Amino acid sequence: MFEYEDPTGENVLAAVGALDVYRRTLHGVYRQFGRRPRSAFTIPEAFLEAGKQPTVTDVTWTAFPRLNNPADDQVEGRRPELQDEYVEWFTERADNGDVRRVIFTTEFPELYEALAARSGNAVLAEVRRVTGAEVKLEDLFGQDFQPDQATASGRAARFVEQAPNSAWNTTKSILFLTHPSSTLGALFNLVTECAVVSKSHVPSSAVCAANPNACVVGRNSDPSVCQAVQELARQRMGLTLTDPPGVQIGKLQGIWKIDGTQIDINQRPDIWRVTRKRRRAELVAAPGLTIGDDTISSGAQVAKRLQVGAKVSFLPEADLPSWAQLGQESSRMLTD
């Protein structure tokens, strides 16, 4: 099995013996989508056997959701419905309504699910570490559930089931993505379907619209990813989502100032801190901080300046082992 990395880069999984659980999950996901006929998407082992360093490309987009053109206050108050760009955020406010900080995440729940499969205390410790709060087991698993009396799969399933209702992933903080379109499977499906070479007369920019079950035209993310992988597939490249698969938080754009003096906010970890292998970030609304001369009034305002992206690894198909090339999908080392 491919030795997939801990997606946080912080040894969270191995420290409690949950890394193998997470790796088995990814092992299944890569192989599920590696079976797609005619897709240039393949599994990571193909690149290891090729013995060549793949090229990695970053496909980027803006974090703020543009589907349905929602207003800032709607996006803030209806996160599970509207924050659909593989990035979500939580805005912490003072009693008078002023923004204290904005926390962004692009993490999928699979890491926490693996921790929950290991034990209730394993996932509890990580939630406490991330939030800095005295979270309780019942906050994560609900009342009348004894985590350590449940099976590993039952405990993990219960945690994921309760997460959308947990205050630590809704009203008090944020842990991972909850929008139904922002899942690990959705990202793999998007890349895999858009890596099927379309008819030559169809421009790569139109492939998203031709794959409505995988790609939503009105988003920032889907069309960008779809066009990028379609162009690679047309160049006869074999490709995969770079390990650890997911979406990384990039730079904040725009003109940022403190007390009227312009700053490079991406070089100010006291104000803008990116952690967990670029899967979590926190903006502190420091006194006098402005964007475009406007005081920070919402997380949505920040999201409009935030760039996120996904990494795709690729090599010429001819450089990959024969079993990883087009026409050999059924034998892409999928039986192990």
What's the average pLDDT block by block, 10 residues per block, for the chain (336 residues)? Answer: 95 97 97 93 95 97 92 89 96 96 98 97 97 96 93 96 92 95 97 88 92 96 98 96 98 97 97 98 97 95 97 97 81 57
SS (H, E, C) 145-214: CCHHHCCHHHHHHHHHHHHHHCHHHCCCCCCCCCCCCCCHHHHHHHHHHHCECCCCCCCHHHCCCCCCCC
Q: Does 295 reside within a domain?
A: yes
Domain range for 70: 35-108+180-331
Q: What is the pLDDT of residue 330?
A: 63
Q: What is the pLDDT of residue 77?
A: 86
Phi, psi (5° rounding) for residue 203? -65, 150
Q: 103, 200 in Cβ contact below 8 A?
A: no
Q: What is the pLDDT of residue 327?
A: 76
Q: Does 9 reside within a domain?
A: no
Number of domains the chain contains: 1
Q: What is the pLDDT of residue 332?
A: 58
Q: Does 118 reside within a domain?
A: no
Q: Does 61 reside within a domain?
A: yes
**Helix, strand and coil percent figures for the chain, each rounded to 5:** 40, 20, 45
Buried residues in 241-263 as b, exposed as e (16+ CB within 10 A):
bbbbbbbbbbebeeebeeeeeeb
Angle in degrees, CA 233, 190, 253, rounded to 5: 95
Q: Does 155 reside within a domain?
A: no
d(CA 232, CA 316) in angstroms, rounded, equals 9
Q: What is the pLDDT of residue 334?
A: 57
Q: Does 147 reside within a domain?
A: no
Q: What is the pLDDT of residue 45?
A: 95
d(CA 147, CA 281) in angstroms, rounded, equals 30
Q: Does 311 reside within a domain?
A: yes
Q: Does 84 reside within a domain?
A: yes
d(CA 319, CA 236) in angstroms, rounded, equals 10
Q: What is the pTM of this model?
A: 0.95
Q: What is the pLDDT of residue 1?
A: 86
